[in-house]
Chain A
Amino acid sequence: MYNTPRSISLFLGILFVLMLCYPLYGDLIFGSKSSFYMQKLTSIIILAILAMSLDLLVGVSGLVSMGHALFFGLAGYVLALISPEYDAANIWIVLPAVLASCAVLGLIVAFLTIKTSGIYFIMVTLAFGQMAYYFFNDSDFAGGSDGLYIMMKPAVMLGDLQLLNLEDKHTLFYVCLACMALVYLILRMLLRSPFGQVLVGIHANEHRVKAIGYNTTRYKIVSFVIAATLAGLAGFLAATQYGFVNPSQLGWHTSGYALMMVIMGGAGTIFGPALGAFVFEILHSFFESFTDHWLMLMGTVMICVVLFLPNGIGGALLKLVERFEKKNKHIQTGDNDNG
């Protein structure tokens, strides 16, 4: 699973290029709705980043967190709180600050929770997420349950030169797309590295890895911190896109949906959870567009995925490719026999 088969890489590449070119054909296909779909696409891309970061925990390290939205929401709050009220913030200051605060909080939460495992870890992370939710929900300084505005999007400047204008919807779209690609590549590299191999080993059999002499707790803490930081990046982009943060973004429903995206897409495949985010959000919008009872449909989809597609879309794709390759190989060896 550490190497994506070539055909799947090709498939992902095509999807990526299709998104990359969206501004070229969006107007032709969707007409006046094109700009709306691009913004929707941007927000799904952001969720895909969140889902991939969660996959590092769930799929790779085997740490099922039900409180991952904590870092997603926290990032937005930090951005809103440190941005000047009527001026654009300097992205070279606020972005590192946001990521650092997510990393630090990730370290604290990891320290408190990492010794637990299985069901305990699920419940404890969920409880910590709720703690953060209530903290912001009750806070005077962060606007309580109404949340906070970010009046101006962060400015991307080099000296006096404006490199990127995030207020522009196209630019923001490309920035988010680039971040998604970047996060994917980072996670891939991480998986191939010795560090990633240890994480995979811990998932498979923690006792054995421990017996070889690795300090597994430390490895798990580091993976938790990395995942928290990447979720922070997603949270930063989300808060930038709509300029609005609210406690509901760190509630356990958001964490649950993120977890669903991971499973729906295929845990441990990295690319799968990103696909999962797209499928989940598109289904949601689709159901919502024709019935008030979309909750029931979404719930049913979730149950069906758990029962019938536990390895997710990514898992199904991998299996398909595997079978296809085996068949090919078989034909090839058959040819050899003939010759």
Chain B
Amino acid sequence: MDFTTILIQLLNSVQYGLLLFLISSGLTLVFGIMGVINLAHGAMYMIGAYLTYAFVDWTGSFGLALLLGLPVMLVVGIIIERFLIDHLYKKDHLFQVLLTFGLILILNDLQSLIWGNDTHGVPIPDLLSGSITLTDTMQYPIYRLSVSAICLVLAVAMYWVIQKTRLGMTIRAGASNREMVESLGINVRTLFTIIFAAGVALAGFGGMISAPLSSVYPGMGDSVLIICLVVVVIGGIGSIKGAFWGAMLVGLVSTFGPILIPSLASVMVYLVMAIVLLVKPRGLFA
């Protein structure tokens, strides 16, 4: 590997890591604050991608598709929280696992009922369709860079909201002591609904902006779920900061790992996770 290639690979790692962060952040947020594990997180990513496909098909505009898709994701999140998750707060995590596992089965089936089983592409929006020349054989699509930029902006925004705003303070307080926040007259139930819906919308948004890059196909959420779990476990469950650095680490490992040690291509990420657990059993930033 020459120096330029290494630089490009670093760019690849960061780009992949940022996207992973965006998708994982919702998972870790919902867990950290509400103590809920949502296995259907990957399915939400899939729904986001399919909605984009459907809305782009309908309106012809990627921007409009995002504007239409996000409220739908929020509504999906609200419905799931109000009708299903709400019954499980005082129960073992086990029941959350099973309920959201059941949800995956239902959503995968619904996807095939509504959109069929074909693979679909979503065109990259015209505005961002160019690319930057890196070497004589390699270019970098502007869209990929824009996705990274969006993820970065969201990461900073999330950090700011949670650390600096009143809402953030309430959220952090709610995470550590639900009764206390309630006694301050804040409706924790509504707060939880908002947070869960936000988590779902984050996963959906990840699916939406990935759709032009990854195309849209049945079962696309499953592998995303697993890699997000690894990110969250490495970073420390519930920590936004952890999810960020966990995603960066996974991005690095899954970019350089397969090139340097091809025989361990897909096991590598899990090996790193096992090592992290040995050193820090609760993740890097818990």
**B267 and A131 contacting across the interface, CB-CB below 8 Å:** yes
- Chain A residues contacting B37 (CB-CB under 8 Å) are 119, 122-123
Which residue of B has the minimal Cβ distance to A294?
A: B109
Shortest C-beta distance, A52 to chain B (Å), equals: 17
**A127 and B282 contacting across the interface, CB-CB below 8 Å:** no
Asked if B230 lies at the interface with its beta carbon under 8 angstroms from chain A, I say: yes
CA distance A122 to B108 in the complex (A): 22
| With known contacts A66-B97, A119-B93, A124-B233, A137–B266 Cβ distance under 8 A | yes
Contact of B102 among A118, A122, A299 (CB under 8 A): A299
CA distance A174 to B98 in the complex (A): 32
Which residue of A has the minimal Cβ distance to B227?
A: A130
**B282 and A299 contacting across the interface, CB-CB below 8 Å:** no
Which residue of B has the minimal Cβ distance to A296?
A: B109
Interface bits B90-117 vs A (CB < 8 Å: 1, else 0) = 0111110111011111101110010000
- Chain A residues contacting B99 (CB-CB under 8 Å) are 302-303, 306-307
CA distance A303 to B266 in the complex (A): 32
- Chain B residues contacting A119 (CB-CB under 8 Å) are 31, 35, 37, 93, 237
Centre residue among B88, B104, B226 by max chain A CB count within 10 A: B226
**A120 and B92 contacting across the interface, CB-CB below 8 Å:** no
**A310 and B91 contacting across the interface, CB-CB below 8 Å:** yes
CA distance A259 to B31 in the complex (A): 21
Which residue of A has the minimal Cβ distance to B99?
A: A306
Number of interface residues of A (CB under 8 A): 41
- Chain B residues contacting A58 (CB-CB under 8 Å) are 94
CA distance A138 to B233 in the complex (A): 23
- Chain A residues contacting B87 (CB-CB under 8 Å) are 307
Asked if B270 lies at the interface with its beta carbon under 8 angstroms from chain A, I say: yes
| With known contacts A259-B98, A260-B101, A134–B266 Cβ distance under 8 A | yes
CA distance A293 to B112 in the complex (A): 9
Interface bits A110-127 vs B (CB < 8 Å: 1, else 0) = 001101101110111011
Asked if B121 lies at the interface with its beta carbon under 8 angstroms from chain A, I say: no
CA distance A295 to B282 in the complex (A): 35
CA distance A112 to B279 in the complex (A): 10
| With known contacts A115-B281, A119-B37, A307-B87, A138–B97 Cβ distance under 8 A | no
- Chain A residues contacting B282 (CB-CB under 8 Å) are 116, 120
CA distance A307 to B281 in the complex (A): 32
Asked if A224 lies at the interface with its beta carbon under 8 angstroms from chain B, I say: no
Asked if B171 lies at the interface with its beta carbon under 8 angstroms from chain A, I say: no
- Chain B residues contacting A116 (CB-CB under 8 Å) are 277, 281-282
**B94 and A298 contacting across the interface, CB-CB below 8 Å:** no
Asked if A214 lies at the interface with its beta carbon under 8 angstroms from chain B, I say: no
For the complex of A and B, the 9 pairs showing the least CB-CB separation, nearest first, are A302-B102, A299-B105, A131-B270, A299-B106, A296-B109, A134-B266, A295-B109, A299-B102, A303-B102
The interface of chain B, by Cβ under 8 A from chain A, is 31, 35, 37, 84, 87-88, 91-95, 97-99, 101-106, 108-110, 113, 226, 229-230, 232-233, 237, 263, 265-267, 270-271, 273-274, 277-278, 281-282
Q: Supply 30 A–B pairs (Cβ within 8 Å), ascending by A.
A: A58-B94, A113-B277, A116-B277, A119-B35, A119-B93, A120-B237, A120-B282, A122-B93, A128-B270, A130-B226, A131-B267, A131-B270, A256-B101, A259-B97, A260-B101, A263-B94, A267-B94, A293-B109, A295-B108, A296-B110, A299-B104, A299-B109, A301-B102, A302-B102, A302-B105, A303-B99, A306-B98, A306-B102, A307-B87, A307-B99
Besides A252-B226, A256-B98, A293-B113, 10 more A-B contacts (Cβ < 8 Å) are: A112-B278, A118-B93, A119-B37, A127-B230, A295-B108, A299-B102, A299-B105, A300-B106, A306-B102, A307-B99
